[in-house]
Amino acid sequence: MINNKTTLPPKKLDSRCYLVYEPQQEWLYSHHASITFFHGKFYAVWSNGHFNEDDLGQRVVLSVSADGEHWSPLRPVVTPEMLGNPDMVVTAGGFHIHEDVLYLYYGAYYYDPSTVPTGVRPKSGAVHCETDMGYISTTDGETWSQPMSLSIPLVPNHPPQKTASNRLILAGNVMFPYTDNPNGIEGWKITGVYGDAFQTLPFVDDSAAIRKIAHARGWDAELLCEGSFYQTDDGILHMMLRSNGSVLWHSFSENDGETWSEPLPTEFSDDGSKFHFGRLPDGRFYGVCNSVVKSHRLPLDLYTSTDGENFDRRFILRDEPYQRRWDGIHKGGHYGYPHTMLHEGYLYVIYSKMKECVEVTKVSLDEIMK
C-alpha cells in the first residue's frame, strides 16, 4: 500500500525562496499557483481575488521572471469581464507547452445570484452555474489570445501531464480527461472515478460537486478531489487524491488513463491539502505535500520513493510560520497548494502562503539525490 512511513529523521533542505507576489491594500487573495519555463523566462500563474477564496470577480494573473528570483508585477490575463460576466469566478489551471506555443488553462463558473444575495460568496451554499474549462495562448509570452472554451465541465487541478506514451492526462477532482493530441487543446475524452454518480447529479467536476459525488459513490470520505498522478515502470498510473481526512486516497489505471480503479485510502498522511507528484532524474518518485495532520499546512514536505509505493525519505522544504495579514473566507494554511517544476538541476516549488502571498522555493537536485 502506498505510504510515507519512514524511520529516518527528516532533513531540512538547503534552499532559497523568492517572493512572487505580496498584496498591499487590494487583491488580497492568491492561490492555485503554477510555474513553468518558456523561451528563456519563468512564468507563474495564480488565482487572484479581492478578499475571499473563489469569490465573485476572481481573476487569473501572471508574473514573469528572467532568473526565477526577481518577478514582475502581476498582470491580469483572464478576467471575468473577458468572459462576459463581471461576477464570474476564474481559477488558474497551469501551463502546457507544445512546440512554440505556451498554453495557460483556467476554470470558470458563476454563482446563482439567489445564493449570493449580498454579492459576496457565503462560506457554503453558493450554487455554481455553467462550470467550464478554457485556455489562452501565446507564442512570445507577451501577447495572449482571447479566452477560448474547451467545453470540459471542470475546474482543473494541475495542468496536463504526459504519460510514457506521450498521452496527456489532466487531473481534476473526479474527472481525469485525456488526449493523444500533443497540443493539449483538441481531442479531449472525459473519464475518471465518478462511476454512475452523474445519473442523478449534473455532469460537472468542481468544488461544489465533489461532496455530492463522494456521497453518491458511497465513499468513506468527505470528498475526493485535487488529483496528481505519477507512472511506475510497469506502466501503471497512480492518481493520488485529497480526502480531507488524515490520508490520501489512490486510484490506478492500467490502460493509460482510459479507465480508473475504484479509489481507496492509502497510508500516506495528509493535512487536507493539494499536493504534486513527479519523478526525479535519478528515477525516484517524489511528492510535495503537507503531510503533518492538523498542522495548518506546516511544514511543506518533500517525500521520495524508489518504487512508487514506499515514500520513505522525508525532506522539509519550508517550516517557517507565516502570519496572515488580511482576513477573508477560507484563508488559511501556511504553505498551500504546491506545484513543482524540474529545470536545469533544480526543483522549483511554487505555493501560496495563507492564500495571500505567492512564493517560489528553489532547491538543488544534488541536495535531494545525495
Domains and CATH numbers, the chain: 11-368 (2.120.10.10)
Q: Which three cell numbers stand for residue 318?
A: 519550508
- Does this model's pTM top 0.85? My answer is yes
Q: Which residues of 19-37 are buried (b: 16+ CB within 10 A; e: fewer)?
A: ebbebeeebbbbbbbbbbb
Q: What is the pLDDT of residues 221-257, one digit of tens each?
A: 999 999 999 999 999 999 999 999 999 999 999 999 9
Q: What is the pLDDT of residues 25-56, one digit of tens each?
A: 999 999 999 999 999 999 999 999 999 999 99
Q: Which three cell numbers stand for residue 241?
A: 487524491
Q: Which three cell numbers stand for residue 210?
A: 465533489
The values of phi and psi at residue 365, to 5°, are: -65, -25
Mean pLDDT of 10-14: 97
- pLDDT for residue 270: 98
Residues 6 or more apart in contact with residue 24 via CB below 8 angstroms? none
Task: Round to whole Å and give the CA distance between 106 and 281.
Answer: 29
- pLDDT for residue 111: 98
Position 264 confidence tier, pLDDT thresholds 50, 70, 90: very high
CB 278, CB 340: distance < 8 Å: yes
Position 370 confidence tier, pLDDT thresholds 50, 70, 90: confident
Residues 6 or more apart in contact with residue 289 via CB below 8 angstroms? 248, 270, 273, 275, 276, 300, 301, 303, 338
Mean pLDDT of 171-185: 98
For residues 370 and 364, which has the higher predicted lDDT (pLDDT)?
A: 364
User: Peptide bond before 182: cis, by omega within 30 degrees of 0?
Assistant: no
Q: Which three cell numbers stand for residue 228?
A: 496528481
CB 285, CB 278: distance < 8 Å: yes
Say if residue 178's pLDDT is above 90: yes
Residues 6 or more apart in contact with residue 64 via CB below 8 angstroms? 41, 42, 43, 44, 71, 72, 75, 141
Mean pLDDT of 146-169: 98
Cα-to-chain-centroid distance, residue 93: 7
Pairing of strands 247-253, 15-21: unpaired
Share of the chain above pLDDT 90, in %: 99
Q: What is the pLDDT of residues 49-72, one digit of tens each?
A: 999 999 999 999 999 999 999 999
Mean pLDDT of 69-86: 98
DSSP 89-116: EEEEEEEEEETTEEEEEEEEEEE-GGG-
Position 369 confidence tier, pLDDT thresholds 50, 70, 90: confident
Position 310 confidence tier, pLDDT thresholds 50, 70, 90: very high
Q: What is the pLDDT of residues 183-203, one digit of tens each?
A: 999 999 999 999 999 999 999
CB 102, CB 137: distance < 8 Å: yes
- pLDDT for residue 96: 98
Task: Round to whole Å and give the CA distance between 367 and 10.
Answer: 13
Position 121 confidence tier, pLDDT thresholds 50, 70, 90: very high
Mean pLDDT of 268-281: 97
Task: Round to whole Å and give the CA distance between 141 and 47.
Answer: 19
CB 219, CB 262: distance < 8 Å: no
Mean pLDDT of 16-23: 98
The DSSP output letter for 177 is -
Residue 130 to residues 71, 105, 320, Cα–Cα distance (Å):
34, 17, 40
